[in-house]
Amino acid sequence: MKKIFMVVLSLVLVFTFAGCKKEDEVAAFEFDVPDSFNVNIQELTYGKYVSLSNPVVTINVREMGEITLQLFPSIAPNTVNSFIKYIQDGSYTNNQFHRVINEFMIQGGLLDDPVCTIAGEMTNNDFDNELSHTLGVLSMARVGEDYDSASSQFFIVHRTTLSLDGEYASFGGVVSGFHILDYIASLNDAEVNEIPIVPVYIDSITVDLNGYVPGNQICITEEAD
């Protein structure tokens, strides 16, 4: 997997993605990719941060396939390190994308007992973070208006939402599997608010560090000590 990814990236090939339509609840996971169009990864807003030395995360979505992302330690190092820790601990196994809003984002990583709460690495929390919340960007959820409440929950931006800039800690971006992102977002049902019409399970999330050595999570409780 690593070798294939490196060859694709080094040749600056295009990644293909497209919208996927929902048929019905019974056939919810039997989707096609109609009328695909090409996107050069370097033309995405975060293309300049993509590197062969970045950690690569693979989200295996049950019955759908894989979403592959790169993490950007140069943007938000503690957020990246914390996310990697949850992955390596197996915390996201059999997790769900529990919150889905079409034309906005998909959210996962809800845990009963997150082990670490971190300071938000975003501009409005006195941290320089220039990664804008455009299509495919990976960012951290938080609680209410508390900038220092991020833990295990993350979201992937489905449509550009610049109002999130400065308010949430962006720290990575999708490099393949855009059609799966699009399809999951389409499972939003207004009648049940932000819950997908069928459960969307994350069978696993894995990370290839590509030589990156993550530091320890710097938790709020540790900073207070």
Provide the residue-wise pLDDT of the chain in tens; the chain has 225 residues. 433 333 334 333 333 333 343 333 333 444 443 333 345 666 788 999 999 999 999 999 999 999 999 999 999 999 999 999 999 999 999 999 999 999 999 999 999 988 899 999 999 999 999 999 999 999 999 999 999 999 999 999 999 999 999 999 999 999 999 999 999 999 986 666 788 999 999 999 999 999 999 999 999 865 443
Q: What is the pLDDT of residue 52?
A: 93
- Give residues with Cβ within 8 angstroms of 94, minimum separation 6: 201, 202, 203
Please tell me the predicted confidence (pLDDT) of residue 172: 98
For the entire predicted model, the pTM comes to 0.82
Residues in contact with 86: Cβ distance below 8 Å, sequence separation at least 6, in sequence order: 92, 109, 111, 114, 115, 152
